[in-house]
A and B are shown apart, each in its own frame.
Chain A
Amino acid sequence: MEQEQLFPLLCQTADGKREAFAELYEITSPQIYAVVLKMLKRKELAEEATQDAFIKIWHNAGSYQRNKGTVLTWMVSIARYRALDLMRYHSIRNEVVLEDESGPPGDAGEASLPTSEQKKLDECMDELDQQQRQAIHLAYFNGLSHHEVVKHLSSPLGTIKSWIRRGLQSLQRCLSI
């Protein structure tokens, strides 16, 4: 899923071209759906989040700018925010089965090929302390709140907040080099 492929489709979507929007959906929806399904766990909610996200993408295609990230990053942002909203509305309490830090699969081969930006992100995530990485993963992939991360990692709230805060700071330092 390259920017070069998705950007023209998004431009045509902004121009009201339904076929381009359908193609954009065809290419990106499996990634969007996978992200929200992992957060929401329940299929019907993940379907709702995907649906709402694409409706928003159709209406807001014209407001995309390159400094908002790649097209796919921008779309993932929209979908994740919607999933977080749905979690709040449905008062979802997250129960996660911890599997290998509950992060992304070690083998990313099934997902789209990593871009250079993603490789850099992986490297920077690897540089974090294991606890920091684990806390950020739980929050990002499973949509856990600070309190929910506390439950899963059995550490005090202050410690969890500090792992996440410091982890994010280190990540920024690494990514901005």
Chain B
Amino acid sequence: MNYLKEELRNALAAEYVLGTLRGKARLRYQKLMMESQTISETTWMWEQYLNGLGQTVPPVKPPQKVWSLIEQKLGFIDAPATDDNVVSLYRRRSKVWRTFSGVAAAAALVIAVLWGTSIPPEVIAPTHVAVVNDEEAKPLWLIEVSEQMLTVRSTDVLQARADKDYELWMVPANGEAPISLGLLPEGGRWERNTPAILLQPAIAALAVSLEPPGGSPTGAPSEVLYISPLVSV
């Protein structure tokens, strides 16, 4: 299909902005926008055409808590102690990295013990391991990397969420964008061939993000929850 044909481009952009382009077609269109400047610009034009309609709706003041939550998520103010784990990368990252070294040492120790007791001898020994912990340093996932297999097991501490998925990322040491390694299990064990990128030495850490069902819609982590070192064994 020629997406550059003007009439089709307008029809798709209009229904994307209107919201009637749904499902896989919508996702495909989002991808096309990332690839084509012309398609992005057509979309912007339709946003200008149609979103003036939104301004005819009589305003309704949102509850005060909405602003408080925005301030919390952006790290402008401290979250109350009862706040859930889901905090934006913006404020969590620095906190996570601050406690990084201590957690890394503890993680290596924990994984050494767990690994020693749980892997049958015939399984190829992992070369690297990581433990993804929650805020209270309770392990959520155990990750083992061997030359052939990437194995992830979730622990009982992990609470599955029906409305979200957890996605695993490799954070390159050179500061480039994280690379997705797939969705994490929310129970039981998950195994796949080790992606070649995981066998290179320049890995800063593994990260886990919270995503809409099916994983990140943008190709970048939406909300980083946890960062774990990948240590050699």
Contacts and interface: CB of A to CB of B under 8 A. Distances in A.
Nearest to B214: A89
Given A140-B18, A140-B19, A165-B11, A110 B53 contact: no
Contacts of B199: none
A29 B70 CA distance: 12
Contacts of B67: 22, 25, 29
B17 interface: yes
A168 B19 contact: no
Interface string A82-101: 00110011100000000000
A140 B51 CA distance: 9
B20 interface: yes
Interface of A: 1, 18, 22, 25, 29-35, 37-38, 43, 46-47, 50-51, 54-55, 58-59, 67-70, 72-74, 76-77, 79-80, 84-85, 88-90, 104-105, 108, 110-112, 114-115, 117-118, 121-122, 125, 136-137, 139-141, 143-146, 149, 164-165, 168-169, 171-172, 175
Contacts of A146: 20, 22
B83 to A, nearest CB: 13
Contacts of A50: 62, 66
B116 interface: no
Interface string B46-73: 0111111111111111110111011001
A111 B212 contact: no
Contacts of A143: 19
B92 to A, nearest CB: 13
A70 B49 CA distance: 11
B167 to A, nearest CB: 15
A141 B17 CA distance: 12
Where chain A touches its partner, the secondary structure class is helix
A73 B11 contact: no
B213 interface: yes
Given A18-B76, A164-B15, A112 B20 contact: no
Contact of A104 (B11, B53, B213): B53
A57 B70 CA distance: 11
Contacts of A85: 212, 217
Contact of B51 (A59, A67, A73, A137): A73
A164 B18 contact: yes
Given A31-B55, A46-B62, 18 more contacts: A33-B66, A37-B60, A68-B44, A73-B54, A76-B54, A77-B17, A79-B54, A88-B22, A105-B57, A108-B58, A112-B55, A118-B52, A136-B18, A139-B20, A140-B50, A140-B54, A143-B19, A145-B19
B62 A30 contact: yes
A72 B57 CA distance: 13
A47 B66 contact: yes
Nearest to A142: B19
A125 B54 CA distance: 13
